[in-house]
Structure 1
């Protein structure tokens, strides 16, 4: 197995000669057997999780399709897909504008409903499920390149068994962001800079924290320039770096223009939703309140996931993972933990941070080789937690997912 520290830094060497593909590179373009295994496990995990949710929903007298396709933020995305932007709701919690939701996901739903006979919910689920599969394949390819097939398979399986992985089966934007992120990071690590920048721009149009992908691409490009001392750097690198932040910055500026406050309009919209970056003060106050006064199971779980994520990031640093993966995960972690409001949603915000699972995946592979039954017990426990907790947060919990 290849250790992360032995992986060379991303390089553009040879990327200007992509038309001359070697036979070995042609063979590598075929879908590896480990990818089929990883995708099979991922699909099986999500199907089992979906089945448990359906059973719980039926028992609670609720309609599973509506839970998958019209829960919380999904309602906003479906409205934007049908009517465009312009909806504002005044509630006791604040003034909520649909401008807080980024445009790519509803645009894809609108395109599908316009081109075919699909309704909005079916189109939204089709986009999410397809994106989740593409993301799983991209995660596998990253894991395969850096650590080998065994770790790649386990990494995908772990991502599909996270406590909040039920979101990957719903009409939400996390699958879309993760798909663009995984392939953008893979492109950066393999020197495909224009692809890296383009996919980073699309990630930036998917979710507010999508700029983490652009930050990772820019960090990878800066590292390459530094290693080359600025000499012999391909023009593709500069183009990719320039493209990376355009999606996120473009939407933020568009909202600012629409709100007559070019640089602050979007952040005003977020503040009215109760979301703002306060360097973690809100998260610390909430954690203190929860420890002193107790709370529902949803909030202790969110706190535990946030704490574990911070530890996993420290382990990722200690493992000397490639710089783009560290920057991407670090930005997602800072945004999730440094922002106030919607504490119960923080595990969902961290769902795209799949590099945090690398250390766990490598440890499980070592355990499986030495003690197969121990690894089986751990995997079964994760699956049980994922399926039961996923059904709980969607069907029974009354807090935003």
Structure 2
């Protein structure tokens, strides 16, 4: 929080607090509805909190990483928790030991605190990008009630990663290079998708060095940025005694870069109603919308000369990584959640001019839909969201 406070002036803190309040209000609505529906269908809270990726992070926090990679009969790696980076489980375990909270509730506390910090960062990033206070609030609200906002409520890694990513971009636009490097280092220990942030930071730092701006500090950011990601890879590999252990474990999750072949095949199957896909699955619409609308959004941002170029590079890189790796297609909208605020800038500006009552109804309705959809993703639908 000390790093964050250095990036925010005293008058701006009051505005930022308002943005956090908006996020928390919408998150409470969505999370409450999720819990109510989950109870209605006969599941307990702990069962919900151990679903999908949450369970993997919580079990790593509880038991640590395995010391081997399991293999299927055909010789390919089977699913393993070695694919999950260590910082979030470490935070959960630390809070559990410090407070005595169960691992599940410690994970929820970490996510909610990190999401609040992220919401503050989203507001400051939008203001740094030239948005008005109203547009900044609108962007926070839209992000907080987006369909995959559930990942900010449960022990997933998106909340922590979002907080580090948005504040790193705030620092990057302010050319606070040491802060950028530190936040980027931490982000790399949370998720391998930090490679997009790292590439953006290294590009900006390299440009500053070539043009001899800001002295030695861009060089420090350039050196610090990839260290967390490299340390995460090496640490996970050390658990099984091989430097490429994470890459081997990740093969089971289908995250190898295939230049978009898997994504194109999935979209083709959905659009042509192939028998192996259920045409009524609402998640297909979410995946199609994210893949196609993100591409349109990147183009619109590139044409908007008021948007900092570094933000365009960040979102374009995220889109390339999302479409270029097949993995779980249903998780693609969640993948874009930390990067989503930049795209929301396109609709937040006109929405900020709408009457207040319209905005309240829109955001409140969005929070209800977000909670309802989260119940389907976590409690009802098959396949990891």
Q: Same fold (TM over 0.5)?
A: yes
TM superposition shift of 1:184: 0.8
Query: Are residues 1:114 and 2:97 paired?
Result: yes
The 1:395/1:196 distance shift into structure 2, 3 A limit, reads same
Q: Secondary structure at the match of 2:78?
A: strand
Q: Shift of residue 150 of structure 1?
A: 1.2
Q: How does 1:119-130 map to 2 (within 5 A)?
A: 119-130=102-113
2:17 counterpart residue number: 36
CA contact (8 A) 1:200 1:211 kept: no
> SS at the partner of 1:340?
coil
Structure 1 position 378, deviation (Å) = 4.6
Counterpart of 1:239 in structure 2 is 220
Distance 2:288 2:383 in 1: 15
Q: Deviations over 1:238-279 (max 9, x none)?
A: 1122101111122223444555653x4432221122221101
> Which residue number in structure 2 is paired with residue 15 of structure 1?
none
Matched, 1:269 2:249: yes
Of residues 360, 373, 386, the one that matches 2:347 is: 360
Partner Cα separation in structure 2 for residue 238 and residue 153 of structure 1: 34
Q: Does the CA contact (< 8 Å) of 2:26 and 2:364 recur in 1?
A: no
Unaligned segments of structure 2, at least 5 residues: 1-5
Partner of 1:306: 291
CA contact (8 A) 2:209 2:219 kept: no
Q: What is the CA-CA distance between 1:210 and the residue it aligns to? A: 1.3
Equivalent of 2:82, from 76, 79, 99?
Answer: 99
Residue 328 of structure 2 corresponds to residue 345 of structure 1: no
Out of 117, 131, 135, the residue aligned to residue 114 of structure 2 is: 131
Rounded Cα–Cα distance in structure 2 between residues aligned with 1:312 and 1:65: 38
Aligned to 1:56: 37
Mind listing any 5+ residue stretches in structure 1 that lack a counterpart? 1-24
Instruction: Flag the 1:97–1:267 CA change in 2: closer, same or farther, 3 A.
Output: same
Does 32-41 or 378-387 show the bigger shift?
378-387
TM-score normalised by the chain length of structure 1:
0.85
Measured against aligned partners, the alpha-carbon deviations of 1:89-145 in whole angstroms (never above 9, x if no partner) come to 567995112221101001111212222312211111111111100000011111122
Query: Quick one: distance in 2 between partners of 1:118 and 1:315?
Result: 46
- Aligned positions of 1:72-221 closer than 5 A: 72-86=52-66, 88=69, 95-146=78-129, 147-221=131-205
Give the length in aligned residue pairs. 369
- Judged with a 3 Å threshold, the aligned counterparts in structure 2 of structure 1 residues 376 and 125 are, in CA distance, closer, same or farther, namely closer
Which residue number in structure 1 is paired with residue 378 of structure 2?
394
